[in-house]
Amino acid sequence: MSVGCAVVASETAPVQEVIQDGKHGLLFNFFDSEALVDKVCKVLETPEEFLEMRHEARSQVLARYDLASVCLPQWLALLTQ
């Protein structure tokens, strides 16, 4: 996500904390291998359809997980409390 790649991931709790289906990536049922294949093929066949999603995913990562502006300041604040 941080480099702007289209992400296809299983629809499990830890993944859903970061990825909203269709907005930051494509999610599929963990046990549905056909859905995985379908989504990966769609991304590979029509990459232009996923440009906005890829940009939104990168923005999401930078806003929530950037080391310099988010994670490190929060970690330092926690240590100084």
Domain count, the chain: 1
Angle at 65 between CA 63 and CA 66, to 5 degrees: 75
| CA 34 to chain CA mean position, Å | 21
Return mean pLDDT, the chain: 96
Question: What pLDDT is stored for residue 54 in this prediction?
Answer: 97
Is 1 among the domain residues?
A: no
Bridge partners (DSSP) listed for residue 37: none
Tokens at 10, concatenated: 């299983």
What is the residue range of 35's domain? 8-80
Within 10 Å of residue 75's Cβ, how many Cβ atoms? 11
Quick one: what percent of the chain has pLDDT higher than 70?
Answer: 100
What's the pTM value of the predicted model, to 2 decimals? 0.85
Is 3 among the domain residues?
A: no
Is 13 among the domain residues?
A: yes
Environment class of 64 (CB within 10 Å of its CB; exposed 0-12, middle 13-18, buried 19+): exposed
Is 35 among the domain residues?
A: yes
Is 40 among the domain residues?
A: yes
Confidence band for 73, pLDDT divided at 50, 70 and 90? very high
Can you tell me the mean pLDDT for 25-51?
A: 98
